[in-house]
Amino acid sequence: MNKPITKICILGGGFGGLYTALNLSRLTAVKSGQWQITLVEPKDHFLFTPLLYELITGELQRWEIAPSYRQLLTGTQINLKTQKASNIDLNNHQVYLENEEILDYDYLVLAVGVRNCWPDILGLADYGLTFRSLEDVEKLQTAIHDLETQGKSSINLAIIGGGPNGVELACKVADRLGKKGKVYLVERNEEILQNFPKSVRVASYRSLLAKNVSLYLNTGLREVAANSITVFKDNTNEFIPIDLLLWTAGTQAQDWINNLDCQKTAQGKLLTRFSLQLIDYPEVFALGDLAEIYPNKQVIPATAQAAYQAASLLAKNISAVIRKKSPQPYYYLHLGDMLTLGKQSALVSSFGINITGRLADIMRRFVYILRLPSQRHQLKVFQHWAKKILFRFRYSQVLSNTKSVEYRLHIRRGTRQKGE
């Protein structure tokens, strides 16, 4: 008698969901059809978010950081459902999709991430732009292009939030706009990058100041209008004329996640055991931005690095639970910090060593290429990058040789003139 197929359903195709699925797909039980993996993701493309900023400056192309799921899942046994989940019946092991399809599962992975949070600030939702998706990049690029074609002598852009997203965005936008742009970075706390080492903050401050980014610390946002913002500090309001506003300061859980009948934090995050299993439902796993381990003995950042590590362990734990073995606890290992600080410039900080500038940019790009979802796509992106580097090297050689020839001709002409 054949054993029933074990159904594993994964909601969300970001770092947590996709990498869990790919890790599971390499197991013999999946390849042989004993375990069935269904990945539910409404978008048709994956998004490597740490490199999203490079689209602003044209350093990378869309295909490099947003390969299609069809391409990434070729050759695997993963079944892709291009739908959005609308609810889960945890007791009956069923996932409801927006097209009214119902998926049964034996094991479930929740990795749907979070969505933008618009606080109750007058005008923010009407005029603010976000930066979390390809659509957001396109809106920003279109808005900048429209302002440039209007012949404006100066483009003023404000970024709300001094975390890594805000700092990286400020540096890239400042380089994109150049001398015709003015960037404001507004942070309500005393420091940017609050949870980062001092060396990282110092390097980031230097880069922002070098790009003439105006920093507003200990400053809150009071109101947003079509062409201005009002900020406040020490009970004093200040009016700043702007053309664009980017909001990077807050996120919240999906609505249907809030409705799940399971234990959550006061902020709506799902509480899990150290094995990443929900406390009340051990057949359900959660990771990424929407989950928090209880009791929380370690601060786990909402980063791609943390999700990447969690996905690797989660795949092993699902396999262990199915085979009636004990799952392992998740301990986040912080390998360092990497931030882009403008065009062809970055910061790499790891185990007390800090590298900035062009070398850090190359290191950061290389590490991220190795983290892309499939070896096929890694090779494709690496080859394209290597060709660009080789082209720049050859161009610089040609330019150097041309200048050398011109210099020698200039010397010869000078010698002839003296002889005459």
Model confidence at 394: pLDDT above 70: no
Task: Count CB-CB contacts under 10 A for residue 273.
Answer: 17
Looking up tokens 């190359």, which residue turns up?
362
**How far is the C-alpha of 101 from the C-alpha of 216, rounded, in Å?**
49
Is the Cα torsion angle 376, 377, 379, 383 positive or negative in sign? positive
What integer pLDDT is reported at residue 163 of this predicted model? 94
Model confidence at 359: pLDDT above 60: yes
pLDDT, tens digit, 9 for 90 and up, residues 144-199 = 999 999 988 899 999 999 999 999 999 999 999 999 999 999 999 999 999 899 99
Mean pLDDT of 128-143: 96
Q: Which SS3 state, helix, strand or coil, does residue 176 take?
A: helix
Q: Which SS3 state, helix, strand or coil, does residue 193 take?
A: coil
What integer pLDDT is reported at residue 299 of this predicted model? 79
pLDDT, tens digit, 9 for 90 and up, residues 223-274 = 999 999 999 999 899 999 999 999 998 788 888 888 899 999 888 899 999 9
Q: Which SS3 state, helix, strand or coil, does residue 187 take?
A: coil
Mean pLDDT of 354-358: 95
What integer pLDDT is reported at residue 1 of this predicted model? 52
pLDDT, tens digit, 9 for 90 and up, residues 70-110 = 999 999 999 999 999 999 999 999 999 999 999 999 999 99
The pTM score is 0.90
Q: Are 108 and 100 a contacting pair, CB within 8 Å?
A: no
The CATH number for 4-113+252-333, chosen from 2.40.160.40, 3.40.50.12280, 2.40.40.20, 3.50.50.60, is 3.50.50.60
* % of the chain beyond a pLDDT of 90: 80
What integer pLDDT is reported at residue 418 of this predicted model? 53
pLDDT, tens digit, 9 for 90 and up, residues 277-303 = 999 999 999 999 899 998 877 778 888
Enter the tokens of residue 230: 């009002």
Topology, domain 126-248: FAD/NAD(P)-binding domain (3.50.50)
Number of H helices, E strands in the chain: 12, 23
